[in-house]
A and B are shown apart, each in its own frame.
Chain A
């Protein structure tokens, strides 16, 4: 039989006839007591040892008792001083006796109370008389203390109780286990036991050699904290973006792609944004220092210019704003990703589209402004649109309610709004899933004919947009968008961000 080393030692040290306490067994086996105890219990579990437990009282002296053993009990010292002063013949002034005894402080009271109790004499009216027949040399309390000091047992319980009361001893109960070999243990020893090795780590060699079967693994402290693993993680805004994309793909939307730097034509003119619209002025645009776009679809360019100048349809009016092709051709960073929608709706991206269609993008847009806690120069815009023969405001509401419901935002409200490119238009408000606050969560509407007709779209298209950061800040609880996005990002924030699913 192969057993762990400590078990082998314990088993070999045990006797089938003489029960041994564990410390004795440990000494005989040459292992430490803790190891011996563990081994004994393991062997008991295996039926190789029998463990008998008894409760034993141990008595030990207090510091006070050890002092008395040295100097004598206070009452004995008092008696001897009294006898020396002649109190065995006639009462002596107490002060004189105490002074001679050398007793001080609380010891005086102790001496006086025990002096009378033990019949060493009497104290009356401030005078001490000693009993000449008393025998302090054979004081049983002293004898008991001496026995305890020598480690010998004291059988007189009343005496022990009294010493305990005087605070001269400490009594402690403990379990004493004694160990005997069982018959199975004897058999095992007869058959022979060998020590198996213990191992700190499981090694490839142990596995291939089969040694693992004979190895005892040392225990780890499995509750202790471990060094933190440095795991990578997809950026929290990207995770939010993935979540949005999942939802939209699930709702039947196809993803769009297209240029970040684009002609103002695609960014604004196609959207029926007048060229003198405040958002298109010098400072709000993110104009780039490159030459104008080379190619724009010629027919579309004219149709868009015509819509701006004259409106669309027999009853339509145009803007009374200047319009120049040069401006339309200028290249800027897109202020919204609706430029992608224009490219797709026009057929420039993927060819003409027949209804029904659903398209989306979650892509960056740019705003030329100052940076603060909730605004960056770059943000992700969620853009989506639905094309069908006929669409109503109710379809729009139903679609967006469904979208926001996926993010736990309910009670979506539609506030009538104005955009140059949609009519009707709605600002979307919803309840914050945690705070219950009513917050703005997007802008939506049905594209105007002045947008769709030049693009060659003859059916209805409804669209909406919102900033991804708005959703993500709800998710992450981030209060400063700069912690999340960009080169100012705090790595610790990103590392600790909860995953989004």
Chain B
């Protein structure tokens, strides 16, 4: 779950509640669903919260939520946006894998260290959440003063650029152009991996994008995001390449506490996602007293993606509307509410409401653009509940009559376990995950062998541990493992398990055949075939089934002392004395006699 670091002095200042002590703030934040986790080295308080309200990833957003909670603010707030001066052109050379861009200009910024930290934190947290580790959306923030936005001339590109150079962008501004804007312009385009050079942040020399991916620590971290692309994403101004999204910005436009005007640009795989990330950033900067200025985003007619030829104005801070019925609110909360009360609760959630008295009372709710979590009217019902205080609702046991019962398989398992325990076995519960070494090798069984346990294993594609790479095909290896781990414990050890096993089976819908198995072993100085067969007979007898044990061979058992388990005429398992080689492999110094068979053989 996301964690936000909060400087409580900043929080007091941004909420205007200088009187709130830290403990009081903690309590108020818990009410919003932000749980205190601990302190950072710098003395900031860390709060964890569920990843729905991403607008709370910064102290500014948390302060806004608190002001609503305190009743200081009501209803929807949308920052004013000045008209666009700057343009972002989207070239047709942009990599098709990352076609979208958004941006805003922010003026009148006064970033002290805290505010700058908060902005960087917000950027990083948005990357981690909505941005899906920058894959879906990445934010670049630049010092606008360092950008030169005259119309961009065709730049010289390196000799090794095998791709077509980007089309000449110069003749824009004529009547034919997508817009008439004559203001400063930057360009989002694609560049060959070694097609250009810039000085990235935290570097002391010019590097090509490809060099950044191999030679720069940040580049290495994010290399996987773009390394497969034919052309790499790049943003240019008149002076050249200044940003290599989603990997790293150039040093030239680095933001410092001296910066007074910013350019925020976002690139990504989904326009909506980067638009929402931008909205959250703009709200945070607005809360710091900055002025938001729009940017024209002009997609080339041949640009990849859904917006080819479109002219978008960003940031997109439009509100949305959804309709909720009064009845749904009352049903979900389980209480009756006056209309005025509902309107009040909506406004205290930072929403605006128009009440619609028709056949059914409905509320048309206006939702601000930072509320990325609202997909459905039920999300607004939740807002009302939170504002009302879910904790104030009186629990009530529902007056619903249903009949309970166990699943047949679960009853069969229970009966079998009870019978095994009655026969003196300690009931085990082992992992379903195992390894080829445990499942096959150490039992002397080969995968694919026509013997119990020889079934083909279903493997985990990305296992963390080599001990757990596949589903077990039988349970005796697990029991042998428990014996191996308990040689220092009292004997006799009589162990059994009724559990899950699986093997590859293309006849199944999931290509995995799942079974329940019954396995048991007796380990003691005088354990013999007869001992374990006696238990098996008793067990099978309890289910009124017929047992036969024709001789067989199985690599885990001693030849001449192994038999098939045939229950009601069907061969379902094996019983015998475990082979000394298997015992020695596990440092066991007592003989072991064991059986295993399919649980469903005991079913009616």
Binding site for B on A (CB under 8 A): 228, 230-235, 237-238, 242, 245, 248-257, 259-263, 276, 278, 282-283, 285-291, 293-295, 311-313, 315-322, 331, 333, 356-358, 364, 366, 368-371, 376-378, 386, 388, 390-395, 397-399, 401-402, 413-419, 423-426, 446, 448-450, 460, 484-492, 494-495
8 closest A-B pairs by CB = A392-B334, A418-B50, A394-B334, A397-B395, A418-B52, A249-B404, A290-B511, A487-B481
A251 to B397, CA, bound (A): 11
The reply to whether the CB of B283 lies closer than 8 angstroms to some CB of chain A is no
CB-defined interface of B31-60 with A at 8 Å, one 1/0 digit per residue?
A: 001010000000000000011110000000
- A392–B332 CB distance below 8 A: yes
A392 to B464 alpha-carbon distance, docked (Å): 42
Distance between Cα atoms of A399 and B399 in the complex (Å): 10
Assuming the contacts A394-B334, A490-B486, asked whether A238 and B402 have C-beta atoms less than 8 A apart, the reply is: no
Docked CA distance A311–B378 (Å): 12
Bits for B492-518, please: 1 = Cβ < 8 Å to A, else 0. Answer: 111110001010101001111010000
- The answer to whether A256 touches B426 (Cβ under 8 A) is no
**Does B385 contact A416, Cβ atoms closer than 8 Å?**
yes
For chain B, residues 324 to 374, give those with C-beta under 8 angstroms from any C-beta of chain A: 331-335, 373-374
Which residues from B are CB-within-8-Å of A488? 485
A289 touches B417 (CB 8 A): no
Known contacts: A316-B375, A423-B381. The answer to whether A232 contacts B424 by CB under 8 A is yes
- Please provide the chain B residues from 510 to 558 with a CB less than 8 Å away from any CB of chain A in the complex: 510-512, 514
Task: Answer whether A234 and B403 are a contact pair too, CB < 8 Å, given A288-B459, A388-B398, A416-B386.
Answer: no
Pairwise interchain contact A390-B331, C-beta atoms closer than 8 A: yes
Query: If the complex has contacts A253-B402, A494-B426, are A402 and B512 also in contact, measured as CB distance less than 8 A?
Result: no
Contact B427 A232 (CB under 8 A): yes
Compute how far the CA of A419 lies from the CA of B375 in the bound complex, rounded to whole angstroms. Answer: 13
Whether the pair B431, A248 counts as a contact (CB closer than 8 A) is no
Within 8 A of A (CB), among B403-448: 403-407, 409-410, 414, 417-418, 420-433, 438
Q: Is the CB of A259 within 8 A of B512?
A: yes
Partner of A260 from B402, B405, B500 at Cβ < 8 Å: B500
Given contacts A392-B331, A487-B478, contact A290 B504 (CB under 8 A): yes
A450→B135 CA distance, assembly (Å):
26
A276 touches B136 (CB 8 A): yes
- Pairwise interchain contact B502-A260, C-beta atoms closer than 8 A: yes
Pair A413/B403 contact, Cβ less than 8 Å? no
Known interface pairs A232-B423, A398-B396, A490-B486; A283-B429 also in contact (CB < 8 Å): no
- In the complex, whether B482 has a CB less than 8 A from a CB of chain A is yes
A293 and B495 CA atoms in complex are apart in Å by: 36
- Inter-chain CA distance A396–B95, complex, in Å, is 49
User: Quick check: B376 and A313 within 8 Å, CB to CB?
Assistant: yes
Q: Is the CB of B425 within 8 A of A232?
A: yes
A402 to chain B, nearest CB (A): 6
Question: B residues within 8 A CB of A399?
Answer: 397-398
- Rounded to whole Å, the gap between the CB of B77 and the closest CB of chain A is 21
Number of interface residues of B (CB under 8 A): 100
Given known contacts A290-B511, A449-B378, A487 and B458 CB-to-CB distance under 8 angstroms: no
Q: Identify 17 residue pairs between A and B in the complex whose beta-carbon atoms are under 8 Å apart, listed by A's number.
A: A232-B423, A252-B403, A254-B404, A254-B405, A255-B410, A256-B407, A261-B510, A276-B136, A293-B511, A316-B375, A317-B374, A322-B269, A368-B463, A394-B335, A397-B396, A489-B482, A494-B426
With contacts A317-B375, A423-B381, A487-B431 known, is A230 near B492, CB below 8 A? yes
Instruction: Say whether B510 contacts A426, CB under 8 Å.
Output: no
- Chain B residue numbers with a CB within 8 Å of A321 are 136, 270
A394-B333, A398-B396, A492-B489 known; A233-B406 Cβ under 8 A: no
Instruction: Tell me which residues across on chain A come within 8 A of B404, comparing CB atoms.
Output: 248-254, 358
- Complex Cα distance, B482 from A250, in Å, reads 35
Instruction: From A333, A401, A489, give the contact of B428 (CB < 8 A).
Output: A489
Asked if B406 contacts A249 (CB within 8 A), the reply is yes
Residue of A nearest to B30 (CB): A415
B229: A residues at CB distance < 8 A: none
Supposing A230-B494, A491-B493 touch, asked if A261 and B458 sit within 8 A by C-beta, the answer is yes
Contacts of B425 in A (CB 8 A): 232
B376-398 toward A: CB 8 Å interface, digit per residue (1/0)?
Answer: 11110110011000110111111
User: What separation, in Å, do the CA atoms of A391 and B424 have in the docked complex?
Assistant: 48
B24 lies within 8 A of chain A by Cβ: no
Question: Is the C-beta of B603 less than 8 angstroms from some C-beta in chain A?
Answer: no
Contact B410 A331 (CB under 8 A): no
- Any A CB within 8 A of the CB of B170: no
Q: Give, as a whole number of angstroms, the nearest-CB distance from A468 to chain B.
A: 11
Q: Is the CB of B273 within 8 A of A394?
A: no
Q: Which residues of A contact B468 (CB under 8 A)?
A: 377
Residue of A nearest to B498 (CB): A238
Known contacts A259-B510, A398-B396, A416-B390: does B462 contact A423 (CB below 8 Å)? no
Q: Is B460 an interface residue (CB 8 A)?
A: yes
Neighbour of B395 across the interface among A242, A288, A394, A448, CB < 8 A:
A394
B272 at the interface (CB under 8 A from A): yes
Residues of A within 8 A of B50 (CB): 417-419, 425
B269: A residues at CB distance < 8 A:
322
* Chain B residues positioned under 8 Å from A494 (CB to CB): 426, 428
* Contact between chains at A294 and B402 (CB < 8 Å): no
